[in-house]
Structures are given as C-alpha cells and as structure tokens.
Structure 1
Amino acid sequence: MKAFDTLINETLEAENLEELEAAADLFQFGVEKGHYSKWQATEFNNAYWEVKNRCLALEISSVIKGNKLDIIDIVSKAPMEVKDDKEKLINYVNGRIKALKGKIKGLK
C-alpha cells in the first residue's frame, strides 16, 4: 500500500480524469483494508475534488471561450448533479459567464 503522502501527491499531479479515478480506486482499496484514517479520507477527498474540478474545467474550456481561472471557479461551485453531466455543466458555465458579463457591463 502506498504511503498517504505519496498517494496525495500523485493525486494532485493527475492530468486527466482517468488518472484521478485510478487514484480514487487505490485510495478506496486502502480504506477498505483499514490503511487510512478518517482524517486522511477528508484530506484525500479535498485533493480529489480540487483535481476533478480542474480537469472538468479544462475539458470545458476547450468548448467555452473564457478565462480558465473563471471557469475553474465556476465549476468548483457548480452543484454536484450538474458536474455528473458534461452538457449540463457546459450550459451551467455558459450561464454563469453570461451573468458575470452582464454584471460587469452594468458597472460602466
């Protein structure tokens, strides 16, 4: 079983959703075998969602033109049910970007 710090570092370095899911499977196996604590589960969950939000945002940024940091922020705050469906997530992000543009134009 991998050391927790190594697993977290590898998770944070995941470049796509497949690598992320492989890390999640490995962590789940370790949890089932009793190798990781509740605190470690919380830490892994935080790292998992950080990487998943980034990966989803990068996938969507190829479809939606906009600032990648804004897209990452919008994706990270999107409801869970939206994150499971790529089309719904694209529509959600488009809507939020349009809403932000409207607020910014209203200030001028």
Structure 2
Amino acid sequence: VEVNGRRIEVALPHSLILGGGPRRKTKKRRASGTKVATSGDAVAAPMQGTVIKVNVSEGDEVAEGDVVLILEAMKMENPVKAHKSGTVAGLAALEGGQVNKGAVLMELK
C-alpha cells in the first residue's frame, strides 16, 4: 500500500483472507411477547416506552389476557395484557406518558 508517497507493507490474518473473519457467538433471542412475569396485583411495563392508548378505566372488569394498554417502544406498538382477571384499580398510566421498564401501570384487584 502506498501512503503519502511511501510504500508500506500490510499483512492480513488468513482468517480474513479466506472470508472467515472473526467468529462471535450469537446470543439466543428470547421469544417476543407481551406477557410480563408479574406477581401480585401490579401490571408492570415490560419495557421503557410511551403509552399510546389506555383501553381501560378505573373500576373496569378485565379478564386474563385482555389488552389493557398499548405501549410504543422503538417505533413499535406493543400490547400490554392483563396477567389475571380482576378490577382495574390505581390506574397510573396516562396516554402520552413515558414509562420505565417495570413501572406499575395499574393494579388488578
């Protein structure tokens, strides 16, 4: 290789020349989903994001698996589902509000 009029010798590892390149172990990706391992009454945010839509109001009855709100993260809309049947209490999620992972969005009594 010539740089600024000077010739410089360059050597490459054989693994790059043969197209192998360095090998890295890839992490197994967990299956995507909206279930959150939540115990007790709290419905927690599965990730950091913005609350796009709240589908329930204080005092509403919900069944296990009902979509209680939509959370936007990284330009994707993610449904958050009720982990058990119950009555919505302590609704803390507001449309347009930012939430952190694990933040309590509401409780189901």
- Establish whether TM, by shorter chain, passes 0.5: no
TM (normalized to structure 2)?
0.19
Q: Which has the higher contact order (CA 8 A, sep 6+)?
A: 2
TM (normalized to structure 1)?
0.19
Higher strand fraction: Structure 1 or Structure 2?
Answer: 2
Whose Rg is larger? 2
